[in-house]
Structures are given as structure tokens and as C-alpha cells.
Amino acid sequence: MIEIDGSHGEGGGQLLRMAVALAAITGQGLRVRNVRARRSNPGLAPQHLAAVKAVAALCGAEAEGLQVKSQEIVFHPQGLRGGEFQFDVGTAGSVTLVLQAVLPVALACAQQVVVRITGGTDVRDAPPLDYFRYVFLSLLSRMGGRVSIAVERRGYYPRGGGEIRLEVQAGASLQPLVMETRGALRELGGIAHTANLPAHITARMARAAQQALPLLPAPQIEQQLLAWPRAMGQGGAIVLWALSEGGVLGAAATAQRGVPAERLGDEAGRALRAEIESGATLDVHAADQLLVYAALANGLSRFTARTLSSHARTTMWLIERFLPVEFDAAQAGLLWRVDCRPRLQ
């Protein structure tokens, strides 16, 4: 059994989600103590509980400590299995954070996996749904991941109620992600959406994002105005991306009560501009989220990032506990270069 101190590094929910995913993939027993110890409300929140239960379903795991606020879990995976699954976070907890735990496990299954998840699709402190499907999944497809996602309904804080359907094809063999140079910028795009709010809010978000990118081709930002049954509750987000010959960079901001639309659009636009001007091949969030897939690929992966987050450093430490790979992260000029290579046996 692998013992993990949940207070290591950034000490948050991502360490827990990735630990149970890696345990499921490798078939190793797992004990995590001090779950989310570095957070103001330590222990399992509903979205973390949903993620662990979802992974357990995909590998027939026996688990202990699965209740809200629990600060220790024990996880005994059995065998990976495909099929159709449905999970409900029960709150506005993030659907995309649950997917961070479920997707690597689903890709490792020998049969097709279809998952429906109900919860928050665009909530604070989590990747908005459009970042997941237009930036992250685009990059994963370059590695051979055959994944599709359908948005049945959007959901926001505090009610949740959003629903997605994820389909993962069996038999995908992940290829290394080698992105050393970005190549010429081809297109800037994005989606700004709001639900059950006045139309001018969406337009103001989009306009502020365009103004934050003055020296680049004006991004073509699609504006979506949603209402029931396409969305439950009030909320929104803006997601931007930059397509190049070598891949895609992304940035996002999620609507919050009391925060002006202009600030959200400006935040997302400035973030994307920083990624473009840095010359990095992956944005800081993708650099974090793709680490586990690079570790599962057959061969050397290499990319550059503008900075290396504490999430990324913690994830690299964790992956090396489970898989025969080693990470090398070093500054190369103004960028960080990250290598993931199979460890010599």
C-alpha cells in the first residue's frame, strides 16, 4: 500500500484526485492521510467525495473514509472496467474537477467508458467547461486520446444542476506530447456565455477581452445567452484560446456575483496575452493537467510553460511515487522546460 501525506506540496484536492486515479490505474492500494490539510476547510468536500466514488466505480474499489469532512481514506482498487456510469456531485461542486480524476482511469480501461456527471459546470477555482473541451481535450487528442463531451445543461453556484456526458473510446494508446516550439499564431477565438442574465453582460465580457489583446488579431468570441433548459441558475464564464501551428493556449475567467463583466473579460484577455508573449507551448493550466497523460504515454514528452505552478510540482512528485517515470523541470531562459521520460529499470 502506498502512503500519501495529503498535506504535501500544495496540499489540496488535486493531490487526492490524482492519487486515487493513479492507484486505480496501477492497481496499488492507497492510504491518504491529512486530506486537503492546507485548506481552510480540510477534509473531503462533496466534489472530492464524488471524484473518489467515481474512480472507485471504474475499478471496483473497496474504500474507507468516504464521507464529507473525512481527512483520511483507504482505497483498494480491483480491476478496471468499462461501461456506463452516472455520478451526482450533489452540489455545485465542479464537474471538471471530477473529470480530472475520472478521465485518466477511463482511458486506461480496455472497454468504452460513458460517464454522466451532474454538478457545477462553470464554478470558481475550477476549469470552466469550455476550457476543458476546447483547450484541454484538443491537446489530449494530439496524444491519441479519443474523448468526446456533450453538454446537456450548464450549472452554477450555488444550485449546480449542470450535466455533461463524456464518452471515452477504448484502445487508445497515448503518444508522447512533444511541443518544443509553438510555431506561428493562426487564430484567436473564444466563447463568452451567461445564463439567465442580461445580454449586455456577455457583450461586455467579450469586448473587454478583445481590448486586452490589442496587438494581436482580434479574437472571434462567440457570445452565448442561455436559459432553461440549457442552463440552471445564473452564471457564466469566458474562455479564450490561441491556435498555432504547434497547438493551443488557453485562458479563462468565471463569473462571480459582484465582479464586473469588464474585469472578467480583461482578466482572461491579459492571461492569454501573457501566455502568447511568453513563447510557451502550453499554458500554465494545461501544463499542470497534462502531466499524468505524459506519464502514461510511451516515450519522452517535452513542453515549455511560462511558469510552474505548485499544483504541477506536487503532481510530478505524486506521479513518480506510482509510475516508472521521472520528471525534469528546469528554467530555460524565461520559460520552464518540462521533460517526462520513462525511468530506466
Please provide residue 295's backbone torsions phi and psi, each rounded to the nearest 5 degrees: -70, -30
Is 311 annotated as catalytic?
Answer: yes
CA-to-CA distance for 283 and 322, rounded, in angstroms?
26
Strands 62-64 and 72-76: antiparallel
Amino acid identity of residue 275, one-letter, is E
Pairwise CA distance, residues 27 & 60, whole Å: 11
Write the CA distances from 31 to 64, 101, 199, 304, integer angstroms.
9, 16, 49, 33
Residues 6+ apart with CB under 8 A from 271: 240, 251, 252, 253
d(CA 322, CA 25): 9
CB 103 within 8 A of CB 168: yes
> 243 with 216: CB under 8 angstroms?
no
Cell numbers for 6: 495529503
Catalytic amino acids? 311
